[in-house]
Amino acid sequence: MNVTHLECALCGLRHEAGVLHNLCVECGKPLLVRYDLAKASQTLTKESLSGGNSSLWRYREVLPVDDAANIVSFGEGWTPLLKAEKLASRLTVGLHLYIKDEGQNPTQSFKARGMTAAISMAKELGVKKVAVPSAGNAAGAMAAYAARAGIEAFIFMPLDTPKANVIECRQTGANVTLIDGLITDCGKIVAERKAAEGWFDVSTLKEPYRVEGKKTMGYELAEQFDWKLPDVIVYPTGGGTGLIGMWKAFDEMEAMGWIGPGRPRMVSVQSATCAPIVRAFEAGDRFAEEFENASTVASGLRVPKAIGDFLILDAIRASGGTAIAVPDEDLVAAVAEIGAAEGIFTAPEGAACLPALRQMIEDAAVSEGERVVLFNTGAGVKYLEALQ
């Protein structure tokens, strides 16, 4: 399409487009896709989006697939932005509160966005086998998209991954291995075996394309808000690809003349028992040390070490945002509170945004009348063990 090259997010080294890449060959950090945005904006305009298809592929000019025949899709994206008036009335500051409900994606989480892009590119580049470490929802999404693409899927998940995710992967044809450890331990197995097994590693930010699918959340927010970004985005953060992707999308939209230089304050939310980004933010560090003995019932937040840590922290600081840790008991209670108030059965990760917002109100970090978006990244039905 309009891809010009891939670029290392840390050292800036240019990598050739159209061939398989994982991390930067120089420094081992994530690669980002770069586009000829002037060319893209000739056909992708605000006006052209009116009446366009209702999947994230409506933004195809700024997505990496060259041949439309290689797009592997279930109609993901274009999820509802729901006004949460009852929930807002419970807060001590009057806000225009919204929930972006990613649980309505195929495979019931925002991971579908990343996997439609990653698996489509894997198909385009001739990949036959893919592998991923996952705490749950990414595995479910990869298994489904790989099955649809005719690509063999190998998945490694912690033993305590929600049962719904394990069953989902097996029922959609994936080879599933459960590991007594964390997602980082699963990642080590993929890294050690991928060369011998012929797997292409689609781990979070260890290939360039999942973030491209996730960035469409930023495009959708702008479009759904009539091209005026919200004041605050509260985002549950494990690997952080969604936050990184939205930040990238805002820069692309500004380059195409769709929005101005203003940005939402980006707020990263983690569990108090797995909070490497929060700890690094509070310490003023650009890179986050691995969080020892990580644990949380919000399995998507149980990421003790994120390879994109510096990108998350850069975006938070550049936007004037913050990072907040939430106790597990608070995020679990918030599932029921959001459900009773708004009828949305959120994942525990998404529910964590509500106590984080309350902390921001207590800290006077939000103001009367601001527009605040909470991201629900998945469907609560996937987490029945945690919510019993």
Measured at the alpha carbon of residue 298, what is the angle toward residues 143 and 57, in degrees to the nearest 5?
45
Q: What is the pLDDT of residue 194?
A: 96
- The answer, yes or no, to whether residue 386 has pLDDT greater than 80, is yes
Section 149-162 average pLDDT: 95
Burial letters 245-269, b for 16+ CB under 10 A, else e: bbbbbbebbeebebbeeebbbbbbb
Assign residue 78 a region: left if phi > 0, alpha if psi is -120 to 50, beta otherwise? Answer: left
Q: Give the pLDDT confidence of 61-103 residue by residue, as tens digits.
A: 999 999 999 999 999 999 999 999 999 999 999 999 999 999 9
- The answer, yes or no, to whether residue 53 has pLDDT greater than 90, is no
Q: What is the pLDDT of residue 135?
A: 85
Give the pair of three-digit tokens for residue 211.
């973030």
Report residue 275: phi and psi, to 5°.
-130, 55
Strand order in the sheet with 129-133: 175-179, 152-158, 129-133, 200-201
Q: What is the rounded CA–CA span in Å between residue 138 and residue 152?
A: 15
For the whole model, what pTM was predicted?
0.96
Which residue ranges form the domains of the chain, and what is each CATH number? 81-109+210-387 (3.40.50.1100)
> For the chain, how many residues are written?
388
- The answer, yes or no, to whether residue 52 has pLDDT greater than 80, is no
Q: What is the pLDDT of residue 388?
A: 82
> 3-class secondary structure for 336-381?
HHHHHHHCCCECHHHHCHHHHHHHHHHCCCCCCCCEEEEEECEEHH
User: Which residue carries 């973030």 as its tokens?
Assistant: 211
Identify the band that residue 361 occupies on the pLDDT scale cut at 50, 70 and 90: very high
Report residue 379: phi and psi, to 5°.
-90, 135
